[in-house]
Amino acid sequence: MTQHGIEFETEAEAGAARLAELFDGAVVAVLTGAGMSTDSGIPDYRGDGMKPRRQPMTIAQFLESADHRRRYWAGSSTGWSRMVSAEPNEAHRALAVLEDQGLVSGVATQNVDGLHRAAGSRNVIELHGHLRTASCVACGRWEDRARLEARIHRDNPWLPTEIEDVFINPDGDAEVHRLDEFVPPACAFCGGPLKPDVVFFGELTRPETARAAERLVDEADAVLVAGSSLVVNTGRRFVHRARRQGKPIAIVNRTETAADHEVGLVVRAGLTETLTALERRLRLR
């Protein structure tokens, strides 16, 4: 493919060139979604379309029904081994390098997998929380998730410790078919229900987290969206904020997003290939 008279071998390389031109001299705030982690073996919600492949549980379902909590914890504990074994991919590492170089100011992520932190990014805002801890909905005390998982597997020794062919959501929730046998976890202090420290569908992002993400956009010169369909408002609101401020905005995603028509540049290519090529271009300037 040709761009400005220059031949590029791939769409990712051509996209990286366009991104480098757009972000020339800018400090960039980055918003990432589930597509960021697919190359780390964690599926996204929508695959090739805008409709979720498997409907995630809502906060209303989780809080109102013991059966729903049983189903969630059975699935989440089944998928836990794949989540904790996932490693950052080169796209995560490219953003960490760009932050080290002062070209990226920080990452606001919709992901709960912790891979940005594992890759070395320092300013990470986890819009939808994380899987590192779980908290009691009755007394508010929290428990380390790894310790909690050891407790769950002790009470449910039949749970698999490794899964390969079972589909999981980006929050680690896997399909489970032996729900009647599952013993759900309870708070070690008061016996109340435990909830992972993630933002469920229908639940609001914490105000302090939203404010931190807004500051990230406000203090940046430009915004890059990577691997998000932007269907969920927690991501799209920051695109709108940057637009109101007249800042350059670019999207990198393999498939269509809900905000393609609202931004100046859309790159239809893989994140790993595009962001590593972008990192090389910006680093050499």
Q: How confident is the model at residue 8, as a pLDDT?
A: 53
Residue 48: pLDDT above 50? Answer: no
Beta bridge partners of 250: 224, 265
What number of H helices and E strands is found in the chain? 9, 11
Q: What are 260-263's contacts with CB under 8 Å, separation 24+? A: 263/225, 263/239
Predicted model pTM: 0.90
264 neighbors 250 (Cβ within 8 angstroms): yes
H/E element holding 97? helix 90-100
Catalytic residue numbers read: 128
DSSP 161-212: S--SSS-B-TT--B--S-GGG----B-TTT-PBEEEEE--BTPPPPHHHHHH
Instruction: Specify the DSSP class assigned to residue 63.
Output: H
Q: How confident is the model at residue 103, as a pLDDT?
A: 95
Give the pLDDT confidence of 225-283 residue by residue, as tens digits.
999 999 988 889 999 999 999 999 999 999 999 999 999 999 999 999 999 999 998 87
Mean pLDDT of the 36-49 span: 74
Q: How confident is the model at residue 1, as a pLDDT?
A: 54
Residues 202 and 200: their CA atoms lie apart, in Å, by: 6
Q: Is 42 helix (H, G, I), strand (E, B) or coil?
A: coil
Q: What's the fold here for domain 2-283?
A: Rossmann fold (3.40.50)
